[in-house]
């Protein structure tokens, strides 16, 4: 594991700190690490500052640990931790919550527990280590950056960014405030210090709706990374137009497969050449299903491959993402309509900020595609339904044209920054 | 549901697609360019408006030929 970049700074809503200062405070608060002997522990925190303190404390003392926000610890979630032999430790009260758990044979010093609710909504504990989370270790030359960190504490994306700030010198972090992410992003932009951001397409659509365009455009961004959901051509083109100086990349990663595909050519999907078997990080497609073999993976079969459960479709020299297996295709009277395709087409319309297409049960056809849409400010809502229907009729198969429309005032965004 | 309201729903579907509204009940759905997908959309819109799923008589659905048949069908289904 590389050394900690002690001089990197972390900016919280109430001030700036460094890893050295965070560790000093954590040691003073929690005391000697022997209180965690024989325990797999997850620290329950109330703030980003506490979370970062827990991170450097656990890393420095080689704990088997993780971190979770207090509001996520429902009785059901607490039970899930207990089932896995995980003790919950209240960072603020400096005490074990509930009954102490004994990890027994499952204790693995150096393991880092990442939390994901995945597509099922059920909290899962994904075992990682700082080696598998440190996905920037292959980037030899990384320019100094100040990153805006919008992710939820304890998620895989959050850990990746924390690892970047931990191990890569010159990578400073500015933490977003989840109580009002757009406002904290706006504050960070006004500081003029943000040069890089990792987020999702939904985050950007949300920001573009809620923050003044001039302020966004004035940001000296040189690095924009997106992932977590399908990155369509419309958002790549829009950000490319706003930030011509920035390197825009989209990354395919998951908490189980690890970071695997990085695309920097400004196009949606990925080049079919990435399936070349000689590559260090393996990418293969079988029956339109994506498999990854990555050193950052935590779960693979005997041959090292992880079935991602994501579907891709070959179009020319590229593979485009089509969503998750089993829950994406809409059967319209025997014809197959794919929401990601429809959304990508809708998002390319100049009056559309965001769209989401789902299936509605309907007589005769079985299902029909229906759309939720956020329009640009000032767009004519009275003609939007007809305009978008006409637009879709020109570029989509008849069965793929959304049949009912709901127009929302703002981009819905979950804690994962996805919609 | 009133017959006129059903016809209005049909015509909303038609005009959204850039087609002429239907004025003559006797015209065949094929000639009016009112398709299966449109029928399904009208049903969905009516269900949404009523807040409940409709029960359909499959045999009656197969016998639909004219706009009048469509109106009769939905009148009965929503009664």
> Which among A253, A69, A264, A44 is positioned nearest to A175, based on CA atoms?
A69
Chain A interface includes B57 (CB < 8 A)? no
What number of other Cβ atoms are within 10 A of residue A212's Cβ? Answer: 10
- Asked if the Cβ–Cβ distance from A363 to B45 is below 8 Å, we say no
Chain B residues with CB-CB distance to A368 below 8 A: 37, 40-41, 44
Out of B36, B44, B53, the one facing A403 most closely (by C-beta) is: B44
Pair of tokens at residue A232: 């369509």
Integer Cα distance of B79 and B76 in angstroms: 5
Please compute the mean of the pLDDT values over residues A270-281 and round it to a whole number.
Answer: 89
CA dist., res. A345 & res. A234, Å (int): 8
For residues A196 and A191, give the distance between their C-alpha atoms in angstroms, rounded to a whole number. 13
> How many whole angstroms separate alpha carbon A352 and alpha carbon B56?
36
Distance CA A320, CA A323 (A): 9
Nearest to A393 among B17, B35, B56 (CB): B17
pLDDT of residue A277: 85
Which long-range contacts link A81-90 to residues 24+ away (Cβ below 8 Å)? A81/A42, A81/A125, A84/A40, A84/A125, A85/A40, A86/A40, A86/A41, A86/A42, A86/A113, A86/A125, A87/A36, A87/A39, A87/A40, A87/A41, A87/A42, A88/A41, A88/A42, A88/A44, A89/A36, A89/A41, A89/A42, A89/A43, A89/A44, A90/A44
Q: A186 near A221, Cβ under 8 Å?
A: no
Nearest to A242 by CA among A211, A277, A273: A211
* Residue B46, pLDDT above cutoff 60: yes
Q: What is the pLDDT of residue A30?
A: 97
- List chain A domain ranges: 9-132, 270-325, 330-408
Candidates B40, B42, B50, B60: best to mutate against A (most CBs of A within 10 A) is: B40
CATH superfamily of A330-408: ANL, C-terminal domain (3.30.300.30)
Q: Given the structure tokens 């010198």, which residue do they identify?
A: A169
Q: Which residue of B has its CA nearest to A402?
A: B41
Domain boundaries, chain B: 3-78
Confidence (pLDDT) at A329: 85
Percent helix, strand and coil across chain A, each to the nearest 5: 30, 30, 35
Do A51 and A153 contact (CB within 8 A), yes or no? yes
Instruction: Measure in Å the smallest separation between the Cα of A158 and chain B Cα atoms.
Output: 41
Residue with tokens 């950007």: A204
Name the CA radius of gyration of chain A, rounded.
22
Pairing verdict, β A64-69 and A40-45: parallel
Transcribe A140-156 into DSSP letters.
S----EEEEE-SPTTSH
Query: Does the distance separating the beta carbons of A398 and B36 come in below 8 Å?
Result: no
Is the ipTM, as predicted for this complex, more than 0.85?
yes
Question: What pLDDT, on a 0 to 100 scale, did the predictor assign at position A300?
Answer: 62
pLDDT reported for residue A137: 77
Does the distance separating the beta carbons of B16 and A363 come in below 8 Å?
no
Residue A14 buriedness (CB in 10 A; 0-12 / 13-18 / 19+): exposed
Token pair for residue A226? 């997106």
Q: Which two tokens stand for residue A7?
A: 């001089």
Neighbours of B3 (CB within 10 A): 13
To probe the interface with A, which of B14, B39, B41, B50 has the most A CB atoms within 10 Å? B41
* Structure-token match 């299903």, residue found: A289
Instruction: Give the alpha-carbon dihedral of A327, A333, A338, A343, to 10 degrees.
Output: -110
Distance CA(A336)–CA(A321), nearest Å, equals 16
Q: Does A372 touch chain B (CB under 8 A)?
A: no
Indicate the pLDDT class of residue A233, thresholds 50, 70 and 90. Answer: very high
Flag whether residue B5 sits within 8 Å of chain A, measured between CB atoms: no
Per the prediction, chain A carries an average pLDDT of 91
Q: Could you give the CA distance from residue A415 to residue A178 in angstroms, rounded to a whole number?
A: 8
A186: Cβ–Cβ under 8 A, 6 or more apart, which residues?
A210, A211, A215
pLDDT at B11 over 90: yes
Kindly state whether B30 is in contact with chain A, defined as any CB-CB distance less than 8 angstroms: no
Partner B contacted by A357 (CB < 8 A): no
The tokens of A162 are what? 């924390």
Q: In Å, how far is B16's CA from the nearest CA of chain A?
A: 5
pLDDT band (50, 70, 90) for residue A299: low
In this prediction, residue A381 has a pLDDT band, given cuts at 50, 70 and 90, of confident
Q: Which of A210, A152, A220, A153 is nearest to A185 (CA)?
A: A210
* Helix, strand or coil, per DSSP, at residue A335: strand
Domain B3-78 class in CATH: mainly alpha
Q: What would the two tokens of residue A276 be? A: 């070349």
Sign of the CA dihedral with A264 first, then A265, A267, and A269 last: negative
Residue A14 pLDDT exceeds 80? yes
Q: With 0.90 as the threshold, say if the pTM is over it.
A: no
- A89-145, pLDDT tens digit by residue? 999 999 999 877 777 678 999 999 998 865 556 778 889 999 989 988 777 678 999
At residue A82, φ and ψ (nearest 5 deg) are -60, -40
Q: H helices of B1-79, where?
A: 3-16, 36-50, 58-62, 67-78
Judged by DSSP in three states, A108 sits in: coil
Residues in chain A: 419
Torsional sign, CA A305, A310, A313, A319: negative
| CATH class (in words) of the domain with range A9-132 | alpha beta
To the nearest 10 degrees (0 to 180), the angle between helices B36-50 and B3-16 is 130
């Amino acid at each position: 594991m590389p050394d900690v970049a002690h001089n990197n700074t972390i900016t919280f809503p109430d001030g700036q700190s460094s890893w050295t200062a965070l560790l000093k405070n954590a040691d003073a608060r929690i005391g000697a690490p022997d209180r965690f002997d024989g325990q797999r522990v997850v620290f329950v925190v109330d703030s980003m500052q506490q979370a970062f303190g827990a991170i450097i404390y656990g890393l420095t003392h080689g704990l088997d640990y993780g971190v979770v926000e207090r509001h996520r610890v429902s009785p059901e979630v607490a039970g899930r931790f207990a089932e896995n032999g995980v003790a919950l430790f209240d960072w603020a009260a400096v005490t074990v919550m509930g009954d102490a758990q004994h990890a027994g044979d499952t204790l693995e010093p150096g393991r880092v527990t990442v939390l994901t609710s995945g597509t099922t909504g059920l909290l899962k504990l994904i075992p990682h280590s700082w080696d598998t989370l440190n996905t920037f270790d292959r980037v030899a030359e990384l320019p100094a950056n100040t990153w805006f960190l919008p992710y939820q504490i304890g998620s895989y994306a959050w850990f990746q960014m924390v690892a970047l700030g931990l191990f890569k010198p010159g990578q400073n972090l500015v933490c977003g405030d989840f109580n009002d992410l757009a406002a904290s992003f706006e504050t960070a932009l006004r500081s003029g210090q943000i040069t890089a951001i990792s987020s999702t397409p939904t985050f950007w659509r949300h920001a573009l709706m809620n923050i003044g365009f001039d302020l966004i455009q004035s940001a000296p961004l040189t690095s924009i990374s997106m992932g977590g959901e399908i990155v369509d051509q419309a958002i790549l083109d829009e950000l490319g137009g706003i930030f011509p100086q920035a390197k825009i990349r989209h990354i395919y990663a998951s908490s189980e497969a690890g970071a695997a595909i990085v695309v920097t050519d400004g196009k949606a999907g990925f080049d079919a050449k990435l399936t070349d078997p000689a590559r260090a990080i393996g990418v293969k497609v079988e029956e339109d299903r994506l498999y990854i073999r990555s050193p950052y993976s935590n779960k693979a079969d005997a041959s090292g491959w992880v079935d991602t459960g994501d579907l891709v479709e070959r179009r020319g020299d590229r593979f485009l993402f089509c969503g998750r297996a089993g829950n994406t295709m809409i059967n319209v009277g025997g014809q197959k309509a794919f929401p990601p395709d429809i959304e990508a087409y809708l998002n390319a319309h100049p009056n559309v900020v965001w769209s989401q297409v789902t299936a509605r049960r309907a007589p005769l056809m079985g299902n029909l595609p229906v759309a939720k849409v956020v329009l640009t400010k000032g767009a004519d809502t009275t003609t939007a339904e007809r305009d978008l229907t006409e637009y879709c009729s020109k570029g989509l198969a008849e069965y793929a044209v959304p049949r009912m429309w709901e127009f929302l005032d703002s981009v819905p965004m979950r804690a994962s920054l996805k919609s | 549901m009133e017959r006129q309201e059903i016809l209005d729903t049909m015509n909303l579907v038609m005009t959204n697609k850039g087609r002429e509204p239907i004025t003559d009940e006797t015209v065949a759905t094929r000639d009016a360019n009112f398709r299966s997908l449109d029928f399904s959309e009208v049903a969905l819109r009516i269900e949404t408006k009523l807040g409940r799923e409709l029960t359909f008589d499959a045999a009656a659905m197969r016998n639909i030929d004219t706009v009048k048949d469509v109106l009769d069908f939905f009148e009965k289904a929503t009664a």
